Amino acid sequence: MNMPLDDREGFAAFLLRLRGRGGAVPKALIAAFEATPRRGFLNGQYHSIAWSDGMLPIECGEAIEGADLQAAVIASLAIEPGNRVLEIGTGSGYTAAVMSRLAARIVSVDRYKTLAEQARQRFEALGIGNVIVRQADGSNGLANEGPFDRIVAWAAFDNLPRFLLDQLSSGGIVIAPIGPEEGEQVLAKLTKVGSRFEREDIGTVRLQPILRSVAAVI
């Protein structure tokens, strides 16, 4: 992909950080990030730091997670080509766009109409046709649309979201932050085994708590 020079430099620095953390970075994941123009999901003032590890503001008082965290989460999801993925928290749409290159179908929900509409426009402009975006309350998943093979939440639950077990296919994976509204949360990877979860904690994060209901105005 033809990136501007400073964008290529930012992307190269991002790759170095990933490799510096040890462990192999899947080639398909790197290709998906490289093929998804990150700048197009950010306001112009943040283009020069698009590939940074810090969170950057987007509309509706929300933020896009740092590129490193996004890569770690998507890698841990271990998405396979035929997978159906539920994303709770569309935000800018960037992570759904990356995952669209790895999965068969993505359903992404956000409580903000503005974010859902902007993401939809970005997908259309990029010719991404396997992502469905909805303004919806994702705090309980999407019970009537499962099962999903992978579920990822970009907002924190105060307790283990056991209700998502029913929305997962056998062997499916949920990645979600679990913990208090204030302070750090544990990023948990939950794999469905029979009628229970196997849990593996893969890091700590500070993300906003999941909010119930959809936003009335924005």
Residue 181 has a pLDDT of: 87
Closest CA to 144 of 165, 160, 167: 167
Percent of the chain with pLDDT over 90: 85
Residue 85 has a pLDDT of: 98
Buried b (16+ CB within 10 A) or exposed e, 68-92: bbbbbbbbbbbbeeebbbbbbbbbb
State the DSSP H helix or E strand holding residue 197, giving kind and residue range, or none if neither: strand 196-205
| Domains located in the chain, CATH noted | 5-205 (3.40.50.150)
Residue 29 has a pLDDT of: 96
Low-confidence ranges of the chain (pLDDT < 70): 1-2
Cis preceding linkage at 147, omega within 30 = yes
What's the pTM value of the predicted model, to 2 decimals? Answer: 0.95
Residue 215 has a pLDDT of: 81
Residue 21 has a pLDDT of: 85
The burial of 171, by beta-carbon neighbours within 10 Å (0-12 exposed, 13-18 middle, 19 or more buried), is given as exposed
Residue 106 to residue 128: CA distance in whole angstroms: 11
